[in-house]
Structure 1
């Protein structure tokens, strides 16, 4: 093997190594950019007196990017009754003694970073009048929100928890 061949092989190895490092760096940058706008949606059951005199299901985007809702579902007493929309609310409200206030989430809705709102809430009157509502949101009602970031395709999930 002559010197020119050795130099050519070394140059090729160095070029391939540089390409591999550049590719890895670009991949890491893309991953960082995706994480820098990742939403983090939480659904909490809130008892009256925690922040105010309201009990309900609170949805929070605790991430640093907007959350785009792709799908929702509501389960009542173990049976899926639909998406979190007005027809499902009206179906559920038929069996309730009082009508709680509601905020629906349709496909494509965006939860901005830092947003806090109630999906379903009832202003507290006294403990006995709204005990049925606390039982509803803490043991009978399960809400699931599927969402993604602006990049799309992640299929993140937020679920209310049953006590």
Structure 2
């Protein structure tokens, strides 16, 4: 074996090693970039203790916007479809207490809605909430009504889900 052959083999091994390291680094950077704009949606209940507002809030705690793919609303174990005007009307028809006093604020979330980073959206809210007088509303938002929201980041195809 000549010294030139050994040097050539070592050069090929070093080049392959460099290529492998560069490939892994590119993959790590791509994963980092995806995570740096990942939305994190949470659904919370607000109980009206602080400011007499009670309701269901959708919050994006992530660093990037959330693109809503679809939503499924369940009322007392029965699916009433996505959170649209039809689902809200169905909810009004099924709950006799809404005839007395309806929540004043409803935010419907059709497909392709964008929730910005740190944005809070009331899905259903009642002002002037009193725990005794509006116990039916508290039971509605904590027990009877369930939301399942499917969302994506700007990269898409992740299939994130938040359920409450």
* TM-score bracket relative to the smaller structure: over 0.9
Number of the residue aligned with 1:117? 121
Establish whether residue 129 from structure 1 lines up as the match of residue 129 from structure 2.
Answer: no
Between the two proteins, the alignment pairs up a number of residues equal to 159
Number of the residue aligned with 2:159? 155
Residue aligned with 2:94, SS:
coil
Please report how far the alpha carbon of residue 150 of structure 1 lies from its aligned counterpart in structure 2 after TM superposition.
Answer: 0.3
Number of the residue aligned with 2:77? 78
Provide the alpha-carbon RMSD of the alignment: 1.1
Please report how far the alpha carbon of residue 36 of structure 1 lies from its aligned counterpart in structure 2 after TM superposition.
Answer: 0.8
Separation in 2, partners of 1:24, 1:92: 51
C-alpha distance after superposition, 1:61-93 (max 9, x if no partner): 111100000010001111111001110110011
Separation in 2, partners of 1:117, 1:109: 12
What are the ranges of 5 or more consecutive residues in structure 1 without an aligned counterpart?
A: none
Number of the residue aligned with 2:86? 87
C-alpha distance after superposition, 1:70-122 (max 9, x if no partner): 01000111111100111011001113322222101111110001101210111
Kept in 1, the 8 Å contact 2:52–2:130? The answer is no
Kept in 2, the 8 Å contact 1:124–1:130? The answer is no
Write out the 4+ residue segments of structure 1 that deviate beyond 2 Å after TM superposition. Answer: 124-129
Please report how far the alpha carbon of residue 123 of structure 1 lies from its aligned counterpart in structure 2 after TM superposition.
Answer: 1.5
TM-score of the superposition, structure 2-length normalised?
0.92
Separation in 2, partners of 1:114, 1:82: 26
Number of the residue aligned with 1:67? 66
